[in-house]
Amino acid sequence: MRATLHNFTKNLDVTDLRWMPDDGFSIGRLRIELLSGLTVALALVPEAVAFAFVAGVHPLVGLYAAFLVGLITALIGGRPGMISGATGALAVVMVALVAQHGVEYLFATVVLMGLLQIFAGVMQWGKFIRLVPHPVMLGFVNGLAIVIFLAQMSQFKVPGTMVDTGHGMGGGEWLSGQPLYLMLALVAATMAIIWITPRITKLIPAPLAGIGIIAALVIGFGLDVPRVGDLASIQGGLPSLHIPMVPLTWETFEIILPYAVILAAIGLIESLLTLNLVGDLTGKRGGASQECIAQGVANTVTGFFGGMGGCAMIGQSMINVKSGGRTRVAGIAAAVFLLLFILIGSSVIELIPLAALVGVMFMVVIGTFAWNSLTILRKVPLMDAFVIILVTVVTVMEDLAVAVVVGVIVSALAYAWNNARRIHATTRESVTEKGAKVYEVHGPLFFGSSDGFAELFDVENDPEVVIVDFADSRVVDQSALQAIEAMAAKYEAAGKRLQLRHLSRDCHRLLNKAGHLMVDSDDDPDYELAVDYDVRTGVLGGH
Residue 219, classed as helix, strand or coil, is helix
Which pLDDT belongs to residue 1? 41
Which pLDDT belongs to residue 2? 42
Q: At what angle do helices 103-122 and 2-11 cross, to 10 degrees?
A: 80
CA max distance for the chain: 99
Report the candidate in 447, 466, 470 with the shortest Cα–Cα distance to residue 457. Answer: 466
Which pLDDT belongs to residue 221? 93
Which pLDDT belongs to residue 21? 57
Report the candidate in 271, 330, 139 with the shortest Cα–Cα distance to residue 279. Answer: 271
Other CB atoms within a 10 A radius of the CB of residue 359 amount to: 25
Indicate if the pLDDT at residue 100 is higher than 70: yes
Residue 174, classed as helix, strand or coil, is strand
Report the candidate in 262, 308, 305 with the shortest Cα–Cα distance to residue 55. Answer: 308
Cα distances (angstroms) measured from residue 514 to each of 61, 133, 185, 444, 510: 54, 31, 70, 18, 6
Cα distances (angstroms) measured from residue 415 to each of 94, 389, 412, 422: 35, 18, 5, 11
The pairing of strands 437-445 and 169-170 is unpaired
Residue 524, classed as helix, strand or coil, is strand
Indicate if the pLDDT at residue 526 is higher than 70: no
How much is the average pLDDT of 96-100? 91
Which pLDDT belongs to residue 20? 55
| Distance, CA of 266 to CA of 534 (rounded, Å) | 52
| Distance, CA of 296 to CA of 111 (rounded, Å) | 9
CATH topology assigned to domain 424-542: Transcription Regulator spoIIAA (3.30.750)
Which pLDDT belongs to residue 433? 76
Q: Which helix (H) or strand (E) is 518 found in, with range?
A: strand 518-520
Contacts of 6 by beta carbon, 8 Å cutoff, 6+ apart: none
Q: What's the chain's average pLDDT?
A: 84
Other CB atoms within a 10 A radius of the CB of residue 138 amount to: 25
How much is the average pLDDT of 370-374? 89
Which pLDDT belongs to residue 531? 44
Indicate if the pLDDT at residue 406 is higher than 60: yes
Residue 536, classed as helix, strand or coil, is coil
pLDDT digits (tens, 9 = 90+) for 169-201: 556 788 899 999 999 999 999 999 999 999 998
How much is the average pLDDT of 113-140? 91
Which pLDDT belongs to residue 183? 95
Q: Which residue has the higher pLDDT, 394 or 533?
A: 394
| Distance, CA of 327 to CA of 346 (rounded, Å) | 27
Contacts of 287 by beta carbon, 8 Å cutoff, 6+ apart: 13, 16, 77, 78, 79, 275
Q: Which residue has the higher pLDDT, 119 or 279?
A: 119
| Distance, CA of 347 to CA of 82 (rounded, Å) | 28
Q: Which residue has the higher pLDDT, 113 or 131?
A: 113
| Distance, CA of 385 to CA of 377 (rounded, Å) | 5
Indicate if the pLDDT at residue 353 is higher than 90: yes
How much is the average pLDDT of 86-104? 90
How much is the average pLDDT of 224-238? 90
DSSP track, 283-316 = T----HHHHHHHHHHHHHHHHTTT----EE-HHH
Which pLDDT belongs to residue 132? 86
Which pLDDT belongs to residue 171? 63
Q: Give the whole-number percent of the chain exceeding pLDDT 90.
A: 47
Contacts of 26 by beta carbon, 8 Å cutoff, 6+ apart: none
Q: Which helix (H) or strand (E) is 233 found in, with range?
A: none
| Distance, CA of 37 to CA of 83 (rounded, Å) | 9
Cα distances (angstroms) measured from residue 50 to each of 60, 66, 189, 528: 11, 12, 23, 62
DSSP track, 203-218 = SS-HHHHHHHHHHHHH
Instruction: Return the domain boundaries, the chain.
Output: 26-160+174-393, 424-542
pLDDT digits (tens, 9 = 90+) for 39-81: 999 999 988 888 888 888 999 999 999 999 999 999 999 888 8
Q: Give the whole-number percent of the chain exceeding pLDDT 70.
A: 86
Q: Which helix (H) or strand (E) is 501 found in, with range?
A: strand 497-501
Which pLDDT belongs to residue 487? 86
Contacts of 527 by beta carbon, 8 Å cutoff, 6+ apart: 471, 502, 503, 504
DSSP lists the bridge partners of residue 428 as 438
DSSP lists the bridge partners of residue 312 as 84
Indicate if the pLDDT at residue 520 is higher than 90: no
DSSP track, 124-149 = TGGGGGGGS-HHHHHHHHHHHHHHHH
Cα distances (angstroms) measured from residue 263 to each of 61, 97, 535: 17, 11, 54
pLDDT digits (tens, 9 = 90+) for 133-176: 889 989 988 998 898 898 888 889 887 665 555 445 556 788 89
Q: Which residue has the higher pLDDT, 346 or 161?
A: 346
pLDDT digits (tens, 9 = 90+) for 412-466: 999 888 888 888 899 988 777 778 899 999 988 888 888 889 889 999 899 988 8
Cα distances (angstroms) measured from residue 204 to each of 390, 401, 419: 39, 36, 53
DSSP track, 416-484 = HHHHHTT-EEEEEE-SSSTT-EEEEEEEEESTTTHHHHHTT--TTTS-SEEEEEEEEEEE-SHHHHHHH
pLDDT digits (tens, 9 = 90+) for 289-327: 999 999 999 999 999 999 999 999 988 999 999 888 888
| Distance, CA of 77 to CA of 289 (rounded, Å) | 9
Q: Residues, the chain, total? A: 543
Which pLDDT belongs to residue 276? 86
DSSP lists the bridge partners of residue 169 as 164
pLDDT digits (tens, 9 = 90+) for 254-298: 999 999 999 999 899 989 988 988 887 777 777 889 999 999 999
Q: What is the distance of C-alpha 413 from the center of its chain?
A: 20
